[in-house]
Structure 1
Amino acid sequence: MAGGSFAPTGEVKHYAGKVTGFVVITCIVAAFGGLIFGYDIGVSGGVTSMDAFLKQFFPQVYAKQLQAHENQYCKFDSELLTMFTSSLYVAGLLASFFASSMTRLYGRLPSMLFGGVTFLIGSAVNGAAKDVTMLIVGRVLLGVGVGFANQSVPVYLSEMAPAKIRGALNMCFQLAITIGIFAANLVNYGTSKINGDYGWRISLALAAVPAIIMLAGAVFLPETPNSLIERGQVEKAKAIIQKIRGTSEVEEELQDIIDASEASKQVAHPWANILQKKYRPQLVMAIAIPMFQQFTGINIIMFYAPVLFKTLGFGDEASLMSAVISGLVNVLATFVSIGTVDKFGRRALFLEGGVQMFISQLLVGVVIGKTFGTSGTGTITKGSANFVLFLICAYVAAFAWSWGPLGWLVPSEIFPLEVRSAGQCINVAVNLLFTFVIAQVFLSMLCHLKFGLFFFFAGWVLLMTIFIFFFLPETKNVPIEEMELIWRKHWFWGKIIPQEDDRAQSKPKPAQS
């Protein structure tokens, strides 16, 4: 594998050093980049359920909502309204390709800084919006910020963290996303009580706060050793490794990173090379995992929780409070993942979470189907509404300790250095592409598929759980520069990877810098 050599026993190596307070603090600060993504996910659904916002920008939706006694499923169906939410993700998708080049050529931190600045500008534009066009422009700027942050932060975390706790530290990114969602839900609940149009303006403008936090953190963070070595700063990289590992004996890890850098410099076109057969397992995972993550249906909850709860018969205030409850569950369940991912592994969490989400979605579909049927008429009882809220919380909890954080962790840790930026770019682009698709079509799908929408997503959850069971090897405790061995040992991928590409025999031996 590029960037690593195999131990004489054929097992992956474990580098010297310990878990230092410096590396933990550094990774936690970097993970704050997830706040901007999370806050945006949480805030958009809240403001689109506020009457003052709908009256000013989407009066037809507001009028339809008042006449929705005949069909609960369709009262928020509007392509323009969903474009407000989903435009961010198109911009993020396109920005991620530029972010890949910046991350590779200039380092992980410049991408984080640029993302924070554009997100800050976007929050100001949205808070001051006078018409739908201004709203969309603000969302596009927010999307550029999200694209750059989602490209750089997971890679930064995977490269800085020691293998034994890489999962936990990388999941701090997902934790920051969940905290951002929860904070947005709380803000929406508070601002919904403000008369006039100031409530939704405050909600949108407060996106500046996570952007400022991300910018402040990026200014003081050190660059990753991998990025420094890529740009010829070997001695500085060595000093950073010694500091984050808490030992002066870092020659083995340093040399492996140097080897990876030498190999990566021989790859003039990472976008072409990533299509080679030796990278096929990683490429498949970088496409399948983020696609499946969105087809869990999580964003119908995170984007549109207040809208969904309002559709199910919750009042205005009750719908926002229900979103706060599910957001809190999301945060707390992520701590479960942080505490267990490096102990029980990625596969166990993926599989358990898949089963729990599948059951929860099936039951939600059954309850809603029995209540509203296919006509969309009827009134949900308080007991049934509370049961639906419980099931949604069970579903959110399962996602928060499985597909949520693992959807970012696994793709960020499996690529060798020479194609890592391109691989992470694909991961982010696929994630944002399908985030856009789900956000854009959800309200229309709810109108047409009705309660069958939950069965639709349950079917995808079943499929992706089977995929993980058969095709994803365990990556816990494997150094990021030693990851190739697990693919060579896998029952399926071992047959795909060309055997002659054995880095233990063929990798270059550059002079020690």
Structure 2
Amino acid sequence: MAGGSFGPSGVSKERAGQYQGRVTAYVVISCIVAATGGSIFGYDIGISGGVTSSNGFLQKFFPVVYQNEMHAHENNYCKYNNQGLAAFTSSLYLAGLVASLVASPITRKYGRRASIICGGLSFIIGATLDASAINLAMLILGRIMLGVGIGFGNQAVPLYLSEMAPSHLRGALNMMFQLATTLGIFTANMINYGTEKLNPWGWRLSLGLAAAPALVMTIGGIFLPETPNSLIERGLTEKGKEVLEKIRGTENVQAELQDIVDASELANSIKHPFRNILERRNRPQLVMAIFMPTFQILTGINSILFYAPVLFKSLGFGGHAALYSSALTGAVLASSTVVSIMTVDKWGRRVLLIGGGIQMIICQVNVQLHVSDTYAYPDVECSILVIVAIILGLKFSSDKGLSKSFSILVVVVICLFVAAFGWSWGPLGWTVPSEIFPLETRSAGQSITVAVNLLFTFAIGQSFLSLLCAFKFGIFLFFAGWITVMTIFVYIFLPETKGVPIEEMIFVWRKHWFWRTVVPEIPEADESYGTTLRNE
């Protein structure tokens, strides 16, 4: 549409009502294969906690921590407080942060598939290095390569899913990424439970098996179709039209194709997407790209998932019980994500984010409430963390473990927290940012989302053991406070995006009571806007 007029998204008018097509097996299979990229992220989250509590691993690489575990320690909260051990976990995420920014131009120039394949190959190399590590340097190098794989995978996979999925099922198909992540966590926890009996070398098997999901991701990436949006953005319009017709199951795709072409023309005129993303017209998306992943991590979920075996051991559980308890949390997380997949395109993003935890209370007391009533109740994720803090504060001293009954109560409460996260902030922390950006800044926006997520993941991973030692049970009150803030943030600033075509998302911001004062309203006849953007 050369010489046409463009709004801030590259789309001049809403055509959503003209979209045709159906959900085809081709698009579902493509999304499932691509979503396996989430499993490498989840596998590492799950495997790290088990490995760092393995006696064979600690004895070889962190003998000081091993000695603290083997002997009575003056403070149960501090027995695992070691910056080297924390660096083993967190170094991956710092590498992933850098890799996600590098992945942005690659994803834009060479397509989503290229980044998926790069991520898989890097992860395979990292898993091989870690499984065969003979010293700490080799171990950390392997973690860095794993981080590169996660940076590329997390940058490309959510974009791929959002662009392939039809608008009315985009939430569910995009959440396949989070489902794969949770299944990766659960699988890793079960592997940890089995390899814990194979000391002193079982940890090598746990780390080496990370290559399995990465191999699936790499091979799948080779055979996946590229998204129509990426193909058209790179000038392959006819090929993009063919793929669009195939994934929609109809030749009547003109309306959706025109939206993509319009957005692509503007995208190709933008030479500096990271600079353009700072413009006022992209302010709402940038805010969400920063705050959604920040809040996702500040729920405290990664602290529990990273260090679940360590945390449960610190609470007085034995080695097998600790791994069993962490496997249980992985299973709860995976099953609760399925609930989110089934409801996100029916109830919407806001209801799940604001009221997801509340639904767990409803299940407990068997009270039937309308979805609209969920806003009247406090966030149960916050309540659960407060309960954990109270139990630990009253019943868990620095040098004595919890009684059996209170240990079980802590596990139950943590599982309720994990379930609340699993069907709200867990999947939607990835889904919302991946669907809201216009094509010209989509790759850059996703890189910012991944970078912020990994930055805070790194910070929490590196500091949690020290914070647990310093603040004891108070660390859970810290996370609980943030959950209150994030719930209010969503209620005020996040518009509903369910069912909105990805290339027409700009109109959502223009209709929002707050963001419409930020996003400029461009008259359809004003062609100077497109010219202005081309000159930037």
TM-score, shorter chain, exceeding 0.5: yes
Q: Select which of 8, 13, 31 maps to 1:27.
A: 31
1:225-264 aligned at under 5 Å gives the runs 225-264=228-267
Give the superposition deviation at 1:32: 0.5
Kindly provide the CA deviation profile for residues 28-64 of structure 1, in whole angstroms up to 9, marking residues without a partner as x: 1100000111101100110100111111100001112
Residue 359 (str. 1) matches residue 383 (str. 2): yes
Q: Select which of 282, 302, 306 maps to 2:305.
A: 302
1:140-179 aligned at under 5 Å gives the runs 140-179=144-183
Distance 1:504 1:262 in 2: 17
Matching residue of 2:512: 490
Residue 385 (str. 1) matches residue 407 (str. 2): yes
Matching residue of 1:115: 119
Give the superposition deviation at 1:3: 4.0
Residue 445 (str. 1) matches residue 471 (str. 2): no
SS at match of 1:17: coil
1:137-216 aligned at under 5 Å gives the runs 137-196=141-200, 198-216=201-219
Give the superposition deviation at 1:111: 0.5
Distance 1:27 1:482, change over 3 A: same
Give the superposition deviation at 1:252: 1.1
Distance 2:440 2:306 in 1: 36
Residue 463 (str. 1) matches residue 485 (str. 2): yes
SS at match of 2:197: coil
Distance 1:258 1:505 in 2: 19
Kindly provide the CA deviation profile for residues 438-470 of structure 1, in whole angstroms up to 9, marking residues without a partner as x: 000000000001000000000011111110110
2:82–2:466 contact (8 Å) kept in structure 1: yes
Distance 1:231 1:486 in 2: 27
Kindly provide the CA deviation profile for residues 362-391 of structure 1, in whole angstroms up to 9, marking residues without a partner as x: 111111111125xx1323111111111111
Unaligned runs of 5+ in 1: none
Aligned residue pairs total: 502
Give the superposition deviation at 1:4: 2.9
Matching residue of 1:133: 137
Give the superposition deviation at 1:14: 5.2
2:241–2:257 contact (8 Å) kept in structure 1: yes
1:115–1:149 contact (8 Å) kept in structure 2: yes
1:14–1:479 contact (8 Å) kept in structure 2: no
SS at match of 1:193: helix
Distance 1:72 1:18, change over 3 A: same
Residue 83 (str. 1) matches residue 87 (str. 2): yes
1:45–1:305 contact (8 Å) kept in structure 2: yes
Kindly provide the CA deviation profile for residues 179-212 of structure 1, in whole angstroms up to 9, marking residues without a partner as x: 100000000000000132x200000000000110
Q: Select which of 53, 60, 76 maps to 1:49.
A: 53
Distance 2:138 2:219 in 1: 27
2:281–2:519 contact (8 Å) kept in structure 1: yes
Give the superposition deviation at 1:310: 0.5
With 351-360 and 184-193 compared, the bigger mean Cα shift is at 351-360
CA RMSD across the alignment: 1.4
Tell me which amino acid in the other structure corresponds to 2:11.
Answer: G
Q: Select which of 395, 399, 420 maps to 2:417.
A: 395
Distance 2:117 2:123 in 1: 10
Tell me which amino acid in the other structure corresponds to 2:310.
Answer: V
Matching residue of 2:11: 4
Matching residue of 2:456: 434
Distance 1:357 1:417 in 2: 35
Tell me which amino acid in the other structure corresponds to 2:324.
Answer: M
Tell me which amino acid in the other structure corresponds to 1:372.
Answer: F
Unaligned runs of 5+ in 2: 1-6, 358-378, 532-536
Tell me which amino acid in the other structure corresponds to 1:64.
Answer: N
TM-score (norm 1): 0.96
Distance 2:497 2:212 in 1: 35
Give the superposition deviation at 1:268: 1.4
Distance 2:281 2:525 in 1: 15
TM-score (norm 2): 0.92
Tell me which amino acid in the other structure corresponds to 1:485.
Answer: F
Give the superposition deviation at 1:412: 0.3
2:14–2:504 contact (8 Å) kept in structure 1: no
Matching residue of 2:275: 272
2:314–2:401 contact (8 Å) kept in structure 1: no
Distance 2:241 2:99 in 1: 32
Distance 1:156 1:503, change over 3 A: farther
Distance 1:253 1:502 in 2: 21
Distance 2:199 2:530 in 1: 67
Distance 2:308 2:523 in 1: 49
Kindly provide the CA deviation profile for residues 74-98 of structure 1, in whole angstroms up to 9, marking residues without a partner as x: 0000000000000000100001111
Tell me which amino acid in the other structure corresponds to 1:408.
Answer: W
1:6–1:13 contact (8 Å) kept in structure 2: no
With 411-420 and 356-365 compared, the bigger mean Cα shift is at 356-365
1:285–1:411 contact (8 Å) kept in structure 2: yes
With 364-373 and 314-323 compared, the bigger mean Cα shift is at 364-373
Kindly provide the CA deviation profile for residues 198-229 of structure 1, in whole angstroms up to 9, marking residues without a partner as x: 20000000000011010111111000001100
Q: Select which of 1, 14, 20 maps to 1:16.
A: 20
Q: Select which of 27, 40, 62 maps to 2:44.
A: 40
Distance 1:177 1:371 in 2: 34
Matching residue of 1:288: 291
Give the superposition deviation at 1:67: 3.4
Distance 1:476 1:437 in 2: 32
Give the superposition deviation at 1:266: 1.5
Kindly provide the CA deviation profile for residues 274-314 of structure 1, in whole angstroms up to 9, marking residues without a partner as x: 10000000000000000111100001111111001111111
1:241–1:250 contact (8 Å) kept in structure 2: yes
Give the superposition deviation at 1:133: 0.8
